[in-house]
Amino acid sequence: MNNPIFDKIFLKKASEEEKEEFFNAIRNDENLKAEYKQYKKLLTIHSLDNKSIPEDRRKQLFAELWKRTKKENNRNSLLIRTLKYAAVILVTVGISYLLTNHTDVNPEHSVIKEYRTTQGSIATIQLSDSSEIWLNANSSMRITEKKNGDIIAVLDGEAYFEITHNETRSFIVDLGKIQIKDVGTSFNIKAYDDDEQIAATLIEGRIDIQDTTGKKLVSMTSNEHFRFHKNENRFTLKSIDTNLVTGWKNGKFVFLEASLREICEELEKWYSVEILIDKRQNENEIFSSVIKKSTTIKQVLELLKLTTGMNYRIVEKGDGTDVIHLY
Amino acid sequence: MTSGFSFDIQLLKEGDKATYEAIYHEFFGTLYSLSSQYIFKTEDAEEIVQEAFLKLWEVKSRLNENTNIKNFLYTITKNNCLNYIRNEQIASFHLKRYQDELQYNYEALYQLEDDYSKIEELKLKIDEAIDSLPAKWKNIFRMSREEDLRYKDIAQKLGISEKTVEASITKALKKLREELKEYLTLISVLINLI
């Protein structure tokens, strides 16, 4: 490769503009890309030595490390921490708290609360035992806390649950044909009434799926994903990468093998736009991707254009709603 | 390879601080060199290595005479770096240029040999190739890469023009590429065999 910027990059002397120019230039050349990666590897190897850090700093770092080995819980790894941090930032964008908070007290002295979210917002619900529920856009939940402590949540939409384990009470999510009983866990449920499927993903802990009589259908353990097909009355269970599924909780769209049509439906809900897909496009084509919800619709469309090759045209209607044509 | 470093694995298994510390000082630098190639925040690059050592501590009771500690630490560090890059990719999804660099870095790191002794062999070859450069170029190259001096500073130090510095480096790199060409093909052959 005779590109002068190439050399500069490896000597760490290239400016941001030069780097951008370079990466644009090699994007379509498989050979140049391969060569770049070879050099990156060689450079890495060449740089490996034991003198990369001053002795004092190393001693200090060891002292810190030693303290950490004494602590019991070391699951607070960098990766989990950075993800949590990202969650804090992203969740504060577009949160809407308790749009309708309707409290009923019925004769049996249970407390019923209703929660509802609109397009483009998520709500977080805290229960008295510090369990937390995140409600995704366009969803509603009715939570009944019975006098004996049992909790039943009726969900239409998508929610992510982090339920405090409590032997003395049961926590059940009622989804019509099936119920999900928590056994002290974090799990995600997607059950929009007008969707044909109900999906539940267990992050941590254990949940039982039962039918309306309380009979157990299946137990789920962590990182399993359950899908119930309402019309066919059957379900599937598989292992999954849970960060993808709960990405929405951290303010991202996550599409795991979703069809173009499903993706557009999610985008329509969040951005309050109408998306028309030209007949020549295959709306059943499958994609997987992760997009931050704070991204503008325009950026998302650009992204779709890049990944699917589809073009778009935005038509602004007089009443402020936009229609997007995909072709 | 290393300066004849050895330790008693039994002591490590029992949680002997001095042994653990010796291992730490022996390998930290190399691992940090690796992580800092792919992770640009110093604290994070350091933290990745810390976590590798923590993992070692966590599993110490399961170690045995045959465990290659260096390989173990290297593998964990490498994998943590890969995960970190993946997270960066998700977090900076809309920055196109950054995505390219991250992806290439990911792939380059992924393809890095699993066995650390192979890496040490390659390092020897590269060092030899640099050593065989004409003295003039070698010096300038070293000042640029290892002492991290700017072209301007090198020019000043050696009493030559900046253009000369730039030309020397270009020529040195060209020569290095020729020297290592067979190793480049060797690497790509190895990859294809996997």
pLDDT at B50: 94
Check: CB of residue A258 under 8 Å from CB of residue A288.
Answer: yes
pLDDT at A63: 95
Show residues of chain A in contact with B93, CB under 8 Å: 290-292, 295, 303
- Given a cut of 80, whether residue B56 has pLDDT beyond it is yes
Check: CB of residue A224 under 8 Å from CB of residue A185.
Answer: no
Strand, coil or helix: A252: strand
CA B84 to CA A77: how far, in whole Å? 11
Strand, coil or helix: A77: coil
Instruction: Express each pLDDT in A92-134 by its tens digit.
Output: 222 222 333 334 444 456 778 888 887 666 777 888 777 788 8
Rounded to the nearest 10 degrees, how much is the dihedral formed by the CA atoms of A14, A17, A20, A25? -90
Q: Do B94 and A62 touch (CB under 8 A)?
A: no
pLDDT at B97: 64
* Mean pLDDT, residues B114-133 taken together: 83
pLDDT at A52: 74
Work out the percent of chain A whose per-residue pLDDT is above 70: 61
What residue of B is the nearest CA neighbor of A18? B97
CA A115 to CA A101: how far, in whole Å? 6
pLDDT at B120: 87
C-alpha count within 13 angstroms, C-beta hemisphere, residue B158: 20
Q: Give yes or no for B107 touching A (CB within 8 A).
A: yes
- Which residue has better confidence, B159 or A258? B159
CA A8 to CA A1: how far, in whole Å? 12
Show residues of chain A in contact with B97, CB under 8 Å: 16, 19-20, 23-24
What residue of B is the nearest CA neighbor of A250? B91
Q: Do B29 and A42 touch (CB under 8 A)?
A: no
Show residues of chain B in contact with A16, CB under 8 Å: 97
Check: CB of residue A149 under 8 Å from CB of residue A164.
Answer: no
Show residues of chain B in contact with A291, CB under 8 Å: 93
pLDDT at A99: 30
Instruction: Express each pLDDT in B73-100 by its tens digit.
Output: 998 899 888 888 877 776 666 566 677 8
* Mean pLDDT, residues A194-208 taken together: 70
Distance from CA of A141 to the nearest CA of B (A): 30
Residue with tokens 């007008």: A194
Distances from the Cα of A194 to the Cα of A188, A190, A198, A265, B138, angstroms: 18, 11, 10, 12, 70
pLDDT band at A61 (very low <50, low <70, confident <90, very high): very high
Ranges A207-211, A291-295, A318-322, most confident: A207-211
CA A16 to CA A20: how far, in whole Å? 6
Q: Do B28 and A61 touch (CB under 8 A)?
A: yes
What residue of B is the nearest CA neighbor of A14? B150
**Structure tokens belonging to residue B18:** 């001095």
Work out the percent of chain B whose per-residue pLDDT is above 70: 84
Instruction: Express each pLDDT in A204-220 by its tens digit.
Output: 667 777 777 777 777 77
Ranges A190-199, A274-283, B6-15, B135-144, most confident: B6-15
pLDDT at A93: 20
Q: Do A44 and B84 touch (CB under 8 A)?
A: no
* Mean pLDDT, residues A276-289 taken together: 70
Check: CB of residue A285 under 8 Å from CB of residue A308.
Answer: yes
Show residues of chain B in contact with A64, CB under 8 Å: 50
**CA A164 to mean position of chain CA atoms:** 21
- Given a cut of 70, whether residue B11 has pLDDT beyond it is yes
Strands (E), chain B: none
Instruction: Express each pLDDT in A225-247 by its tens digit.
Output: 777 766 666 666 766 666 656 66
Please provide residue B44's backbone torsions phi and psi, each rounded to the nearest 5 degrees: -70, -40
Q: Give yes or no for A248 touching B (CB within 8 A).
A: no
Query: Lowest mean pLDDT: which of A111-115, A301-305, B11-15, B171-175?
Result: A301-305
* Mean pLDDT, residues B14-38 taken together: 93
Strand, coil or helix: A284: coil
Instruction: Express each pLDDT in A128-176 by its tens digit.
Output: 777 788 887 778 888 888 888 888 888 888 888 877 767 677 888 887 7
pTM of the model: 0.50
Ranges A91-100, B27-36, B62-71, B160-169, most confident: B27-36
